[in-house]
Chain A
């Protein structure tokens, strides 16, 4: 290979390296989240969450919290969706159990140009300092979040029941594999 070819090759490899390192950063600068179909703002442009309020901002694990507010539809068409809560915290827990929803049911229909009051009752399962939002997931549109508030949860974490049937299934198979393995002892020939 000639020296000139080697230089071209070296420059090309260098350019690929530089692009690989800085390319994503440059792309971040010029691209917005909307380009990916993900809305950048918390509030949905289809149905907005207003008058969001929490019954309490400090509670113990096992106690419930009620998030209330109003869903204001800004579109003509009826939409289907479901309400939940979205929380961020400094720990990795973020565990809540949804106890009740109003309007009742999981997936609800939100009529076009309507104003619907909502309430979510959630039980705290893990201590932490949270920022809790209402989350409305609208079919074919995506999620929207309310402004949110800080909530402090204290107490012992609540663990869910242990799935004994699944553990039994696993254990039986693992035991059978032990029997076969020790009967045949494959490691003897390795």
Chain B
């Protein structure tokens, strides 16, 4: 039974890590080198929020240990450094590469689980809302710490940029005045659903493992 549990665990880690790395690479292009910057940030935030919350909730309920969220976020975030090397190899300006920031949101999930004495529904509701609200905030901090994206887009032609995707002018306010607000609003609603999905995936995993345990 232990081997099955561990295999399931590592399989999930690998799948989510690969997804998060690819998402990091692809979303970066659209955030910085197109005139869809703010819109892309919202899409990026929601995508990362949902991926994080479903994985972290799955893990937290898998182990039942508050702290698993931080463990999961740590693994995912360190994996994105692989993506960073890929970007550098493509010739992106080094002071312009960001990683998604997942750890603090995952810690909030741990906090919700721990503070409510491991109540699964509190994890879904409070944890889901906390991740959704915080993810765009922590990621926008990243954008403030690197070279100005629009200036960089004008100053450094992107190595593999299709000409039709070049920015014309700042698009702030075109889609919504604050990508953080929109990302947080949409993320906090959607991530509750995905937190519930994480719990459900956990239930299914245990049922699947229980079915396998007949062979023990």
Residues of A within 8 A of B (CB): 38, 80-82, 84-87, 92-98, 106-107, 126, 135, 137, 139, 142-143, 145, 159-163, 165-166, 169-170, 173-174, 176-178, 180-181, 183-190
Contact = CB atoms under 8 A, between A and B. Distances in A.
A174 B103 contact: yes
Contacts of A145: 163
A113 B52 CA distance: 53
A145 B37 CA distance: 24
B213 to A, nearest CB: 16
A173 B146 contact: no
Interface string B78-120: 1000000000011101111111010110110010000000000
A42 to B, nearest CB: 9
A166 B96 CA distance: 10
B71 A97 contact: no
A135 B70 CA distance: 46
B189 interface: no
B5 interface: yes
Interface of B: 5-6, 9, 59, 62-68, 70-71, 73-74, 77-78, 89-91, 93-99, 101, 103-104, 106-107, 110, 141-142, 145-147, 154-157, 159-161, 163-164, 166-169
A110 to B, nearest CB: 13
Nearest to A101: B154
A139 B169 contact: yes
6 contacts: A92-B89, A94-B159, A139-B169, A166-B98, A174-B78, A177-B107
B67 A98 contact: no
B63 A190 contact: yes
Contacts of A174: 74, 77-78, 103
B157 A166 contact: no
Given A163-B145, A184-B70, A190-B62, 4 more contacts: A96-B156, A143-B164, A160-B96, A177-B103
A141 B141 CA distance: 34
B156 A106 contact: no
Contacts of A183: 67
Nearest to A86: B163
A162 B94 contact: yes
A180 B70 contact: yes
A142 B164 CA distance: 6
* Pairs A-B, 10 closest by C-beta atoms: A184-B67, A143-B163, A177-B74, A180-B70, A186-B68, A166-B145, A94-B159, A163-B95, A165-B145, A160-B93
Contacts of A107: 168-169
Nearest to B152: A160
A180 B6 CA distance: 21
B64 A166 contact: no
Nearest to A85: B157
Contact of B71 (A87, A106, A187): A187
A166 B204 CA distance: 39
Contact of B74 (A106, A160, A178): A178
A87 B157 CA distance: 9
Contact of B166 (A137, A176, A177, A186): A137
Contacts of B98: 166
B99 A170 contact: yes
A176 B107 contact: yes
**B110, B147, B163, B167 — most chain A CB neighbours (10 Å):** B163
Contacts of B64: 189
A151 to B, nearest CB: 14
A173 B81 CA distance: 14
Given A137-B166, A160-B96, A163-B94, A94 B160 contact: yes
A135 B67 contact: no
B74 A97 contact: no
Contact of B163 (A126, A135, A139, A190): A135
